[in-house]
Amino acid sequence: MTTTADTGPETGPDTESVPQTAGQAGGRAAARRFTRLHDFGIVLSVAAIVVALSLTTGTFLTTGNLVNLLDQAAVVGLLACAATVVIISGAFDLSITAVLAVSAIVAVVVTTHAGVPAGVVAAVAVGALLGAVNGLIVVTVKVHSFIATLALSIMYRGLAVILTAGAIVYPPEDRLQAFQALSWPTVLGGVTASSLLFLAVAAVCWVLLSRTTFGRRVYAVGGNEEAARLSGIRVGSVRVAVFAISGVCAALAGLVLAARGGSAQASMATGMELTAIAAAVVGGTSVLGGEGAIWRGLVGVLLITLIGNGFNLLGWDTIYQQVVQGALILGAVSFDRVLRARRS
């Protein structure tokens, strides 16, 4: 009996360890497959829509439509860059379109008194300042960023109304043409200056997140704030910097919108912050923070822009476009939850 008892414990763990190891290997393989699907499923979706629109319409692949498509994506793309950076850090910024409006109004007002270059610099400075204020309030008051930036968004919209007295503001007639320079087509096949600005900002944000120490700290803070703090990262400074970057991107988006319309007003881009966040999430940026990439956000922007373009080209009722976008957001968030569960 003693021998049997001794043999049992020795052979039991050994025989059980083989299927356990195989199960772990299978789990890791499944997680890798889910990760690849997470990374490239959105790209395949965009490719499928491009092929479908190319086959069903005769105007999708024309130069004019493609240039228009990129131009349509510029404002949402700039806001999506802001949303992606902030979400990766584990926060949300619902004030980006309010910052956009204030920055655009400041650009018009300063342009009126000091010229277009001064107006552009003032707009970017105001965007960075308002973004930094967002970060400081989130860090010092320790209110959840969703609530804090929602309240600040209302405040900034009110500030925009005060600055304009509820009216639309215009730059002076002799400076209007220079003020609208961002809406001009360039020599690159008619691609507008705003589209080039969007691509340049996206490239800078990509390098910042993927090739710098600051970018690694942003991912660390978003992945596990307490672990990041214990490792010596100044979490508060990173958060403030991230919100300041978001403010700059929002200000540039405001300059693009103001250049297109030749004016600015307090209600500019109302609700567009949700589209930008949707693009980031649909592209694969995790709402829980710590995961994501600028290129994913850009693919999300392209997908949403393609859906709108497709509805227009096919003559479909655009009221259903919101239903499709909502379904995409729900699907992306649900898939992210499943992916995290498979990894754990």
**How high is the pLDDT of residue 2?**
41
149, 134 in Cβ contact below 8 A?
A: yes
H-run or E-run covering 275 = helix 272-282
Position 35 pLDDT exceeds 90? no
Split at pLDDT 50, 70, 90, the class of 28 is low
For residues 325 and 82, what is the distance between their CA atoms, to the nearest angstrom?
A: 20
Domain for residue 269, yes or no? Answer: yes
215, 204 in Cβ contact below 8 A?
A: no
* Parent domain of 175: 42-343
Average pLDDT, rounded, for the chain? 87
Q: Cβ of 275: how many Cβ atoms within 10 Å?
A: 23
Domain for residue 6, yes or no? Answer: no
Mean pLDDT computed over 6-12: 40
Domain for residue 300, yes or no? Answer: yes
99, 156 in Cβ contact below 8 A?
A: yes
Domain for residue 11, yes or no? Answer: no
Instruction: Take residue 295 and report the two structure tokens written for it.
Output: 């290129």
For residues 40 and 269, what is the distance between their CA atoms, to the nearest angstrom?
A: 30
Does the CA dihedral 123-125-128-129 come out positive or negative?
Answer: negative
Question: Read out DSSP for 270-324?
Answer: TTHHHHHHHHHHHTT--TTSS---HHHHHHHHHHHHHHHHHHHHHT--GGGHHHH
**Overall number of domains in the chain:** 1
Domain for residue 202, yes or no? Answer: yes
Domain for residue 55, yes or no? Answer: yes
Position 1 pLDDT exceeds 60? no
**How high is the pLDDT of residue 220?**
97
How does pLDDT run across 220-255, given as a tens digit for each residue?
Answer: 999 999 999 999 999 999 999 999 999 999 999 999
Domain for residue 164, yes or no? Answer: yes
Split at pLDDT 50, 70, 90, the class of 43 is confident
Which is nearest to 105 in space by CA: 163, 158, 176? 163
**How high is the pLDDT of residue 189?**
76
Position 12 pLDDT exceeds 90? no
Question: Read out DSSP for 143-184?
Answer: --HHHHHHHHHHHHHHHHHHHHTTS-B---HHHHHHHTGGGS
**How high is the pLDDT of residue 30?**
55
Mean pLDDT computed over 156-173: 96
Domain for residue 272, yes or no? Answer: yes
Instruction: Take residue 37 and report the two structure tokens written for it.
Output: 């699907």
How does pLDDT run across 68-101, given as a tens digit for each residue?
Answer: 999 999 999 999 999 999 999 999 999 999 999 9
Q: Which residue has the higher pLDDT, 308 or 14?
A: 308
CATH code at 329?
1.10.3470
For residues 151 and 147, what is the distance between their CA atoms, to the nearest angstrom?
A: 6
Amino acid at 129: L
How does pLDDT run across 300-336, given as a tens digit for each residue?
Answer: 999 899 988 998 888 888 788 888 878 877 777 777 6
**How high is the pLDDT of residue 318?**
78
**How high is the pLDDT of residue 24?**
53
Position 13 pLDDT exceeds 90? no
